[in-house]
Chains A and B, each alone.
Chain A
Amino acid sequence: MLDAIIHHWEPILAVGIFGVVFVAIVFEIFDKAIVAMAGAGILVLTRVLTFEQAIEAINFEIIALLAAMMILVEIAQESGLFTLINFKLAKFSKGNPFLIFLFFMLVTAFASAFLDNVTTILIVVPITIALVRGMGYNPFPFIIGEIMFSNIGGALTLVGDPPNILVGTMAGISFNSFIVHLWIPILIIIVLILVAFYVIRWKDLKPIHHHLPKLFLSNLLLKKIQYQFLKTKLDARYMITVAVILGLTIVGFLMQFVLNYPLAVIAFAGAIILMLVVHKKIHVHHVLSKVEWPTLGFFAGLFVLAHGLEEVGILKAIGHSLVGVTDNFALLILIVVWSAGILSMVIDNIPFVTVMIPIIFNMQEVLGSDPHFSLLWWALVLGACLGGNGTIIGASANVIGVDLARNNGVKITFLSYLRYSLPLTLLTLVVSSVYLMVWYFYF
């Protein structure tokens, strides 16, 4: 009797639990990991899913890939590799704000293509504030730029941003395929955003070759940084070992089609080999404690929640109804890119993408024969990653970047961020749309 009642209410329960979790995540009522895991637990308790179904719903490839990348990044950070890179950047910039901006933005974009965006922000923002403020400049445009470039760079590769990891692993898209299909729009967006920043904040970013006092101040600060860096006892051998293994892991990602291993296996192999090689330099307990377990729990919970929706047929219905809205495939691509973009501005893009993936799979049932079907995946990736730039709460990197700025005395409000981010994000979505349309109509 009870089973019959529950069966009848299953779709409502699945949607209701998902909705409550979603709202709780958006309004940050509880820690999002707790909310997602609690939602998953309730789905099992209410028998919408069995325990076995819930466990099967968790994509352990993604969880393992994330954990392995966190271990690699933590050891790289402990080795001083990132300190060295930051120091070199500061040195090459010669204290010129024009070059500092250019270098830091490009490095942020590049680093976040291979590292987690939050990690990249944690590494670059503090040094930028110290460097830029020490020279008497306003760090504001630099921090906003770094936040935006971390999300833009993260869109380029499979491991760059969680939405990409979700799409890549669940849709079976290779690491190389991401780069091959996305480098053109990402490159155009990087150039456009750089130009836009230089135009808008020319006063803060212009070169200082004609101003000797500013050159003096900049060079003095660089000498100080150099002195402090040389005083820091860095172990060159340790750093080289870390750099080599990190490099080999990335090469492994690029060679995935030859190696024929899942990315998680390659990443985990890199992490384990690194821990074995540098075991005397690290405390395994400390390294493992740096793995963001709440993030992994959040992902696991979301997988179960999305599977709940899938199981009761909700996602299939949405997929079919979306396809039913229009028979124009180009319009469908635009709907995906813009809805992903706009929603990612205000809500966490991870749960959104988690739900969208099965929806797109369901669309495949109807549109699978269309040779351009893969464009829907790229539309989802571009929309979710770039849309995350839209507001201060659009992505984890934004929240962390703004927090770091505030802790260092730089105030970035919701509106002061929005003034730059909104037009620039819309610009990036326009570029993405044009790129996808050109691809659809001409290739």
Chain B
Amino acid sequence: MHTTLSKLFREIEAELGTHEFCIMALEALKSALLQYKIKDREELQHQLLLIFKLLKITKPRYAILLDSFYKILDECETSKTDIPIEELIMRIDRIIVAYQLEKLQLVQASEGIDFDDKSILIHDHSHFIHSVLASMNQKGKRFTVIVAEQNMEKTEDNIEFLHSHDIEYKVVPAHMLSHIEETVDMVFCGAVTFQENMNFVMDPGSKAIISHFHYEKKPIYVFITTSKFTLWPLTEESHEVYAKPDIGYHHVLTDIEYERIKFSHDRVSVDLIDYIVTEQGIFKPKELKEIFRDMFKKRAKKRERYFGEEN
């Protein structure tokens, strides 16, 4: 079942972004709880733990979803009613509202960035970046966007967004950015998660662009909420980058077949980043590391309580 779940998670996440995916998953859990024919409280707890265990083995693991589940399990444990379905649903509603608020707070925090007359380079199709750009555009800030072309689906998603919000933009293939580096004032990136080794997990191609503009001393911003942090120790598996070899890929003009490998994401050190925009404010790498370590310790205690395990 976890294979099916992993596939579904990846599909939704690719379409909606991690944050919205998590909200959709929580809404699905609410509907499932309403349809669930409960026998007793123990059975409910057992079934919730079954889902939790599944979430812990999906590839990739979604930190934000696991974070929500700890909160749901807390509610189930502390509830005083025999069958706490209603309490759980109310708790899920509160989590969803909190996540929606997080997004607004992140957009609010980004008001501290000077947008005026700036040329902003974007690459991935981060929904947070979309929200920030839309909000700043609505507030009358004047800026232009350069889209570094990558996977066409994601690039077109960015184009569609910029076009629909009437934001001035141009598109440049990612491997030709050196020709316009002078015109770029700052780089905006989204991130899937932030891990114990102080690396961000980002869209493939991000590392090359960030390294390039770090070298050019252009300010680089990463937009991420703290609920997306990976708050469990990294294992061998956590370093895995999913590679999808396409054996028998066809040359466009000839009959030549060759192996073409595509990767799922890049890992980028926080030290290459200048500013990290979160719902709690804008941080420098050193400050973010402190916040992460603190959250990591708190989560370790909670993990111990529910699973009594090291990882």
Contact = CB atoms under 8 A, between A and B. Distances in A.
Interface string B5-24: 10010011001100000001
A217 B29 CA distance: 9
A220 B25 contact: yes
Contact of B11 (A96, A212, A224): A224
B164 to A, nearest CB: 13
B4 A135 contact: yes
A390 B39 CA distance: 44
Given A134-B4, A212-B47, A220-B25, 17 more contacts: A96-B35, A136-B5, A209-B35, A209-B36, A210-B37, A210-B39, A211-B47, A212-B33, A213-B1, A215-B32, A215-B36, A218-B32, A219-B32, A220-B12, A220-B24, A223-B31, A227-B15
Interface of A: 94, 96, 133-136, 209-224, 227-228
B48 A212 contact: yes
A220 B36 CA distance: 14
User: Which 9 A-B residue pairings sit nearest by Cβ, starting from the closest?
Assistant: A212-B47, A215-B32, A220-B28, A136-B4, A219-B28, A209-B37, A219-B31, A216-B32, A219-B32
Contacts of A222: 28, 31
Contacts of B15: 224, 227-228
Contact of B8 (A94, A209, A215, A224): A224
A219 B5 CA distance: 12
Contacts of B24: 220, 223-224, 227
B85 to A, nearest CB: 11
User: What secondary structure prevails in chain A residues at the interface with B?
Assistant: helix
A141 B68 CA distance: 36
Contacts of B25: 220
B32 A212 contact: yes
26 contacts: A96-B35, A134-B4, A134-B8, A136-B1, A136-B4, A209-B35, A209-B36, A210-B37, A211-B47, A212-B44, A213-B51, A215-B31, A215-B36, A216-B28, A217-B1, A217-B4, A219-B28, A219-B29, A220-B8, A220-B25, A222-B28, A224-B15, A227-B15, A227-B16, A227-B24, A228-B15
A219 B51 CA distance: 13
Most chain B CB neighbours (cut-off 10 Å) among A213, A216, A223: A216
B27 interface: yes
Interface residues of B, number: 26
Contacts of B1: 136, 213-214, 217
Nearest to B5: A217
Nearest to A231: B15
A94 B4 contact: no
A213 B37 contact: no
B32 A221 contact: no
A219 B36 CA distance: 11
B50 interface: yes
Nearest to A224: B12
A224 B28 CA distance: 10
Given A210-B37, A217-B4, A223 B28 contact: yes
Contacts of B44: 212
